[in-house]
Each structure stands twice: as C-alpha cells, then as structure tokens.
Amino acid sequence: MNKKGFIFDLDGVIVDTAKYHFLAWRKLALGLGISFSEEDNEQLKGVSRIHSLEKILAWGDKQLSEEHFNSLLQKKNNDYLSHIAQMSHEEILPDVPRVLSYLKDLGQPMALGSASKNARRILREVALIDEFDAIVDGTNVSKAKPDPEVFLKAAEGLGMPVEQCIVFEDSLAGIQAANTAGMMSVGIGSAEVLTEAVYVFKDFTEISNEFILNKLVS
C-alpha cells in the first residue's frame, strides 16, 4: 500500500478551540474599549498570537508600549489556558477519532502542523498526543501560515516528500501554506471561504473511509 504523510492542523480541525480564543480575545478587546465580534474572531483563525493582538489593536486604532503589549499577550494566554484546562476527550470534533484510527490501521504516517504554542498541551488534554508520529507547532516555527514552514517541517518530521503529503486545514492561510508547500490541501469548513483547497468538507463526518483509501492514500 502507498504511504502518504497526513498532516492535521489543530484548532478547527481536531478540536474547536476557536470558541475559547474568542472568549479570551473578546475580554481583552472589551477591556481596551474595542468591540470584538464572532466575525472578527474568524479573521484570527490560523493567525499567530502576536499577529492576532496586532490586528485587534489596529481595528481599534490603538497603540501600546511594548511592555503593555507583552503583558496583554500573557493575560490573554492565561485566560485561554483556563478554558483549555477544562477540556476533555469529548471535545474532539466529530469523526476525528474514526479517521485517525483508520489511518493508523492502514499504517499511514500522521503529523500535527499547528500555529498554536499550546498545541501539545491541548493534545494532552484531549488524550491524542500519542496518535501523531511528528508534532510541529508554534514553538517550532518562525514564520506564520500562509508561509509553508510549519507543514514543511511536519513532512520532514515524517520523512515524507512534500508531494506525498496531505494537509487538513480550516483556515485559508493554512490552505495557501499547504499549496505553497506543494502538498494536497483538504479544507475543513466552508467551501466559500476555503476556495483554494483541492477538496472541501464541512467536517470529518463527510470524509468516508472509502474516500480516504481511494482518493487520498492511492
């Protein structure tokens, strides 16, 4: 059987942590007198923590000292982590365990490729840390998606050539990163947003084992 490198984004693909980012960013923004909606939060998907705060400040036309900026980053992360600490296995998105265990049964290499510096902690929280052969996260990269660095490092970690890698991503920047890396991109979410993906599915319940075997592995 062919071997492919299956690379998964974390937030929005394996777990829905966007809702916790939303709560933490909204609290921070409101504290600065900046409004923050669910639509604003959408624009921060896949974006690094530092760039997210820069964007929020730009929306509110606010400038802060470096010290204040860094203290807000810390505060946001502490707040976010207090939500993460409550997470359990039940918060894994629908059919992710089925897809992971099917790929494992087929002997397919699997990696995580996430912008989050908290990725390992989240994987431990939902008891998926041992499912991946390689983990590349925000602590391992210097360039944010759409730069392909995170996925190139994940492929390297798996020892797979880029043209044999398949990336599951929920953000457009992540799809662009996968395409730039020369990998096959599979969007998880809305086809209207993930316009540059090769395939788009609402979630993993729409991805059958037959599809994985016949279209992705073959």
Residues 150-179 that bind Mg ion (CB under 5 A): 170-171
Cβ 16 to Mg ion shortest distance, Å = 10
Exposure on the CB side of residue 217, measured as CA atoms within 13 A: 20
- Provide the minimum distance between the beta carbon of 31 and Mg ion in the complex, in angstroms, as a whole number: 25
Q: Are 89 and 126 in contact (CB under 8 A)?
A: yes
User: Per CB under 6 A, does 45 bind ligand B16?
Assistant: yes
d(CA 188, CA 145): 16
**Total residues contacting ligand B16 (rule CB under 6 A)?**
19
Adjacency order of strands within the sheet including 110-113 = 134-136, 110-113, 5-8, 165-169, 184-188, 199-201
125 binds Mg ion per the rule CB under 5 A: no
* Residue 11 sits in the site that holds Mg ion (CB under 5 A): yes
User: Which residues 82-121 are close enough to bind ligand B16 by CB under 6 A?
Assistant: 114-118
For residue 9, indicate whether it is catalytic.
yes
Taking residues 124 to 153 in sequence order and writing x for each that binds ligand B16 by CB under 6 A, - otherwise, the string is --------------x---------------
Q: What DSSP state is assigned to residue 93?
A: P
Residue among 49, 47, 126, 130 at smallest CA distance from 85:
126
Question: Would you call 11 a catalytic residue per the annotation?
Answer: yes
What does the binding site for Mg ion look like in residue numbers (CB under 5 A)? 9, 11-12, 46, 170-171
